[in-house]
Structure 1
């Protein structure tokens, strides 16, 4: 996935957290806001309580892969941040994908028919 899809500046990230709408479950929270650009932008936030650097990086890689799979279906008029909770550390990939998919549908960032 191209870097233009990622939220890079602290100002953009703060804007999402300030004007946020959110959906969540016990493992993840997605904060999102509408905006006007030709494509969506996203970030992944994961705290140190999740585990060591290897575990955090693996979780971020998995989430980036899931988002890239849905990139054609995600509504381009949104910015969103996926916050990873420490409880998700022990989830296998299939359950991570299922949880993220449900949250994206709940937030109306993707359509229900877009599930892979």
Structure 2
């Protein structure tokens, strides 16, 4: 994923957290902030130390990033969102990561609706 699609700075993470607009399931938490002036979505990924050692955390982040990349054409472009992995997300197979992220993205309303595509 290109740098322009990432949230990296602590201040930007905090702005999204402060919206308190969160959605969760057992594996992931997603915070969403609307930004209508933005040309495309931006995503921040947070994987805490409860997931495991550095190798396990990076493994989990790669799987999350790949899932988001596959959902890219379906996602709304006018948002910043954070994906936070819960400890239960540790060591999940790829299809399970994708399924769990799809579920939480639907809860958060991050997918483009069919009506918007037709307009």
* SS of 1:7 mapped into structure 2: coil
- Unaligned runs of at least 5 residues, structure 1: none
1:33 aligned partner: 33
Cα deviations by residue, 1:53-82 (Å, 9 ceiling, x for unpaired): 111000000100010111111101110000
1:49 aligned partner: 50
Distance of 2:90 and 2:82 partners within structure 1: 18
Q: Where has structure 1 moved over 2 Å in runs of 4 or more?
A: none
* Offset at residue 112 of structure 1 (A): 7.0
Q: Give the conservation status (yes or no) of the 8 Å contact 1:105–1:112.
A: no
Distance of 2:47 and 2:33 partners within structure 1: 19
Q: Give the conservation status (yes or no) of the 8 Å contact 1:22–1:31.
A: yes
2:76 aligned partner: 75
Q: Give the conservation status (yes or no) of the 8 Å contact 2:60–2:91.
A: no
Distance of 2:40 and 2:24 partners within structure 1: 23
Taking structure 2 as the reference length, the TM-score comes to: 0.89
Number of aligned residues: 113
* SS of 1:71 mapped into structure 2: helix
* Offset at residue 87 of structure 1 (A): 1.2
Distance of 1:20 and 1:4 partners within structure 2: 24
Greater Cα offset, 13-22 or 84-93: 84-93
* SS of 1:91 mapped into structure 2: coil
* Offset at residue 49 of structure 1 (A): 1.0
Indicate the RMSD between aligned Cα atoms, in angstroms: 1.3
Taking structure 1 as the reference length, the TM-score comes to: 0.91
- Unaligned runs of at least 5 residues, structure 2: 115-119
